[in-house]
Amino acid sequence: MKNLLFPMLSIFAFVLFTLSSCEKGKNPLKPYEATDHPEVWNYSFNMQNPGSKTIPAMDADGNIYFAIQNSESNPITIFAIDKTGNELWKNEFNGNLSSQIICQENHLYFSAQTSDSRSITWCLNSSDGEIAWANSSQQKGGCVMAVSHDYVVTGALSGGYVTGDEDTYELVIMDKTGEILTSISIGNGVAAISMVGNTLYYITNHLSGGGYDKIHLTKYNLTSGTVEWVQSSGNDEENWRVASPDLVVDNNNKVYYVSQFGLNVTLHIINPDGTVFKEVTLKEVNDVTLTPSLDAEGNIYIGAPGYLQKYTSAGDLVWSFEDYNYTSASINVTYAPVLASGEMIYYGGEGLFAVKTSPEMAYIVYPETGFTSPGYPLINSDGDIITVGNGYVNCIKGDGQQLQNSVWPKVYQNNGNTASR
C-alpha cells in the first residue's frame, strides 16, 4: 500500500493543478500562454521564409513593409500593408536579398546580390512600390546598409572571396538621390554599419581572399572623408566572428557590439575616442545573433537562447533571467530585445514573448496561424505587436505601451529600421 501512496498522491496533485489551470483558462502545459492578448488581425502572403527571421519596417502612419524570398532562385517580393492588415501593394525584384527593408522619408531602401555576384541597391516610393532609383556597384556579393537623412551607405558583406581585379570590398557612400559621393576600398567585408549624424561606424573582420583577421571597428567622418580612429579586437589567424547585425551607439557616443570566438561571447563597449570602456563576458552560445538594446537610462539588455540579461550603463550585471519551466517556450531572443515604454520587453521565439523588467515572464502568445518562423516584433501606435512569420503577418493585442524613447530600443534602432539617428 505504501508503494502505491506516492504515485497516487502525484496523480492527485497533477489533477488539482490541471483543474486549477483550466479554471484560469490556461493550458497547464503552457503556463505563460496569454488569454488576454488576442490576435487583432492577420495578413496571409502565402510564402515561406526559411532560415531567416524577417525584420519588418513601419512608417509614421503605421504602414508595414517587409521582404520575403523563398529561395535564391525566386524573386524578392516586397510587401506593403496598412495598419489594419490590408494589402497596399507588392512588387518583385531579381537578386539574392542581403539587407532588411529600411523605411525613411517616404522611401524604402534595400540591397541584394545580382546574378553576376555584384551588389545592387534599390530605392522605392513607399506609396506604390515603384523604383525611384537603383544603383549597381562593383562591390562583391550582397551588402549591409544604413540610411540617414543625408546619406545611404552600403558595405560589402563579410565572408566570401575576391575573385578578380574588378571585385572589391568597399563602402559606397551615396546621397539620397542615389548618386555615389565616394567609394572606399576597405579590404575586408563589413559586418555592420550605423550612422549618427555625419558620423559613420562600421565593423569588419574576414580577410578578403581567405583567412581571418582581427575585428576592426572604424569611426569615419562623412563630412571630411577621414577616419577618426580604428579599434581592434581578437587575434589574427583566428576565427573571430561579429555577432551583432547592428552597431549600437549611446547618447555619449559609446559604441556596443558583440564578438564570438568559439563558444566565448563578449560584449564590447568602446569609448568615444576608440579606447575600450569595458568588455563583458557573456554566456556561451553557438552561432547566434546578439545585439544589445539600451533603455532611456542607458541600461543594457541582451539575450540569447536560454537567457535574458540586464546590465547597468557601467557594464555591471543587474539580473540574469532564465526560464525553463516550459522547454519549447524557454527564452530564445531573436536578434535583440524590444524595449517598450513601460516595464516590458518583447522578443520573438516560438511565440511572441513578453518579459517584465522585474524580471519575470509575463506571457507568451501563440497565434492560431502559427509562429513557425516568427519575425522580429514591431510596436505600433496603439501599443499592439506586429510580427512577420512563415506565411502570415500577425498583429497581437499588446499592453498599450509604445516603443521606448531611447537611443537604441531595438535592433536597427527604430521601427523604420534605419540603423541611424
Backbone angles phi, psi at 269, to 5 degrees: -120, 115
Task: Please name each of the domains of the chain with its CATH number.
Answer: 95-270 (2.130.10.10)
- Contact present, 397 and 368 (Cβ < 8 Å): no
Backbone angles phi, psi at 80, to 5 degrees: -130, 125
Cis peptide before 272 (omega within 30 of 0): no
pLDDT for 13: 46
The distance of Cα 30 from the centroid of its chain, to the nearest Å, equals 26
List, in sequence order, every residue forming a beta bridge with 131; answer none if it has no partner. 124
Cell numbers 568588455: residue: 279
pLDDT for 234: 75
Q: Edge to edge, what strands does the sheet with 215-221 contain? A: 188-196, 199-207, 215-221, 226-233
pLDDT one-digit tens code per residue, 191-209:
889 999 999 999 986 554 4
Distance CA 191, CA 174 (A): 19
* pLDDT averaged per 10 residues, the chain (length 421): 48 44 54 82 80 80 91 86 96 87 94 79 96 80 85 74 55 91 80 92 68 82 94 74 88 93 88 96 78 94 86 95 60 81 84 88 79 77 89 90 93 88 88
- Contact present, 102 and 416 (Cβ < 8 Å): yes
Distance CA 379, CA 396 (A): 10
pLDDT for 237: 59
Distance CA 220, CA 153 (A): 12
Give me 246's grid cell: 547592428
pLDDT for 217: 93
pLDDT for 323: 67
Cell numbers 568615444: residue: 272
pLDDT for 160: 43
List, in sequence order, every residue forming a beta bridge with 99; answer none if it has no partner. none
Is the pTM here over 0.85, yes or no?
yes
pLDDT for 80: 97
Give me 250's grid cell: 549611446
Element (H, E) at 17: helix 2-23
